[in-house]
Amino acid sequence: MPELSNHRKFTRVDTECDINYTHPNTGLKGIASSINLSAAGILFKATEKLTCGCSLEISVKPFNPITPPLHAIIEIIRVTPIENNQYEIAATIEGIKGV
């Protein structure tokens, strides 16, 4: 197993997939683009400035048709402004949902 210099429990995997997300309380929907994914969290880019501490329902849709989609509940832990009026959003995966 490769050494994890950043002291994370799980290795991150680079991903470039579309993400559909829904705010469970309001029903508002959005689209984002994943950057990387681990067993415990996800990093993605979005044009909407999401709020730290809020929960979202997400569906990550891989481009490879043999890879199943991921349906999960996440909690936003960091929102960082980046170029082109986008935000880099880090979240923990709180639970996996069935299809």
For 20-31, the pLDDT digits (tens) are 999 988 899 999
Q: Other C-beta atoms within 10 Å of 15: how many?
A: 19
For 30-84, the pLDDT digits (tens) are 999 999 998 899 999 999 999 999 999 999 988 888 888 899 999 999 999 999 9
Phi, psi at 31, each rounded to 5°: -125, 140
Domains of the chain plus CATH, in order, are 20-96 (2.40.30)
pTM for the model stands at 0.84
